[in-house]
Amino acid sequence: MEFSKFIESEGQQISKNSGDHVFMQGDSDDSLYLIKQGVVKAYYLTSDGQERVKSFLTDNDVIGSMSAAYQKQKATFGLICLEPTQLLKFNFEQLYLQSQSNHQLAREVIDILLAFAMKKEARERELLCLSAEQRYQNLLDKSPALMEKVTQNDIARYLGVTPVGLSRIKHRLIDASKSKHNSPLK
């Protein structure tokens, strides 16, 4: 069985409006979600109520709290729709059990988990090794369409800067671009 066939047979279609939560931090949720259409934000709330954006997800991304789905703990982050979103919800335990006896499904699940691990590795590297300006430029380069769908406050929270800090970064990049274009050719 292929992953797409598993999703078709086991997945439950869900429609959410902009601002609707798929799940909240602290919820019990043993499901994973395939985003068919839309944009969602995964975020953490700190103990003092501050929001930190973990990631933005779009069409064909798979997301869920592995702590909740696999370990039966509470979700460690929340997932909210930033625009009307279509999702397919499926039970993690069913996927896990079926993948143990179906090699094709197991290979595809491994591919999904590898893509997820590489995305997390890239995000960790960005946060630990790049400046906020470099992280912003990477986001612009990788996801230009996303930039039109996400608020400046969310982008700032994703980068780990204040909205004022983001504004300064944007102005520095604009100024650098102008200087490049206005410099005489040698």
Between residues 119 and 182, the one the model is more confident about: 119
> Residue 174: its pLDDT value, please?
79
Q: Are 29 and 71 in contact (CB under 8 A)?
A: no
- In the chain, pLDDT over 70 holds for what percent of residues? 96
Least confident range from 43-47, 158-162, 177-181: namely: 177-181
- Phi, psi at 78, each rounded to 5°: -105, 160
Alpha helices for the chain (secondary structure H):
3-10, 66-69, 92-101, 103-129, 132-142, 144-147, 152-159, 163-182
The pLDDT confidence band at residue 176, using thresholds 50, 70 and 90, is confident
The pLDDT confidence band at residue 8, using thresholds 50, 70 and 90, is confident
Q: What is the CA radius of gyration of the chain?
A: 19
Taking alpha carbons only, the member of 85, 63, 68 closest to residue 15 is: 85
**How many of the other CB atoms lie within 10 Å of CB of 95?**
21
pTM for this model (two decimals): 0.88
Query: Domain 1-123's class?
Result: mainly beta
> Residue 178: its pLDDT value, please?
76
Average pLDDT along the chain: 92
96-116 pLDDT, tens digit each: 999 999 999 999 999 999 999
> Residue 62: its pLDDT value, please?
94
Taking alpha carbons only, the member of 55, 61, 64 closest to residue 157 is: 55
The pLDDT confidence band at residue 185, using thresholds 50, 70 and 90, is low
> Residue 58: its pLDDT value, please?
94
The pLDDT confidence band at residue 181, using thresholds 50, 70 and 90, is low
- Domain spans in the chain, listed from the N-terminal domain onward: 1-123, 130-186
65-101 pLDDT, tens digit each: 999 999 999 999 999 999 999 999 999 999 999 999 9
**Average pLDDT, integer, range 24-40:** 96
> Residue 1: its pLDDT value, please?
67
